[in-house]
Amino acid sequence: MKALIINCSPVRTGATAEIVRIVSEQLSGGMETETLCIDDYDFAFCKGCRSCHQTAQCVQDDDIPRILDAFERADIIVFVSPSYWADIPGQFKAFIDRCTPWCNTHEPHRKLSGGKKGYAIALRTGPNLPECERVISSIEHFCGHLEIACCGHLGLTCVEYQQDVAKHEAEILALCRKMMKR
């Protein structure tokens, strides 16, 4: 089994990265893990040309296929995303838009191999959970179009800095145990 843990934030060293580290460390006890930060890759916004609706290929040549290769190698994909103004960060949204050639919203489309399981962890600085639920909903909607089965999620509030993650470690570890049972 192989797990891919994605930092959906443009910040490589913040609270989101700390959660990615914890999840990766926990899962590495029972499976091979790979992590990536969405901001380490070079890709442009979707041009909206819809060429991919006819060809299942994007007209742009950048790092999107490299990221999707990591998806293909994984059995479990864990998305860890902060809330930016009550939704996923713009960089992650741009990535999702560029995955249209792999989404089941049109024919033809490229496909990831079946049987993949997805998990979402959302964090926000404020105390209200509904904002995390919106982030989780965006991630699960994306997974659905990639035909990745959504198998669990976690919303974490009052997390602004890396040190704020510690108060949620038990919740993160519980989700990791769930992932290991799959």
Distance CA 175, CA 107 (A): 35
pLDDT score of 97: 97
Sequence length of the chain is 182
pLDDT score of 119: 98
- CB neighbour list of residue 88: distance below 8 Å, 6 or more residues apart: 8, 81, 96, 135, 138, 139
Cut 0.85: pTM above it = yes
Distance CA 32, CA 101 (A): 28
Q: What is the pLDDT along the chain (182 residues), one digit of tens a residue?
A: 999 999 999 999 999 999 999 999 999 999 999 999 999 999 999 999 999 999 999 999 999 999 999 999 999 999 999 999 999 999 999 999 999 999 999 999 999 999 999 999 999 999 999 999 999 999 999 999 999 999 999 999 999 999 999 999 999 999 999 999 86
pLDDT score of 182: 65
Range of the domain at 164: 2-181
pLDDT score of 124: 97
- CB neighbour list of residue 77: distance below 8 Å, 6 or more residues apart: 3, 4, 6, 71, 116, 117, 118, 119, 143, 148
**CA distances in angstroms from 2 to 32, 33, 35, 67, 142, listed in the order given:** 5, 6, 11, 15, 20
User: Based on the structure, what is the number of domains in the chain?
Assistant: 1
The closest alpha carbon to 125, from 14, 23, 22, 39, belongs to 14
Q: What is the CATH number of the domain that holds 164?
A: 3.40.50.360
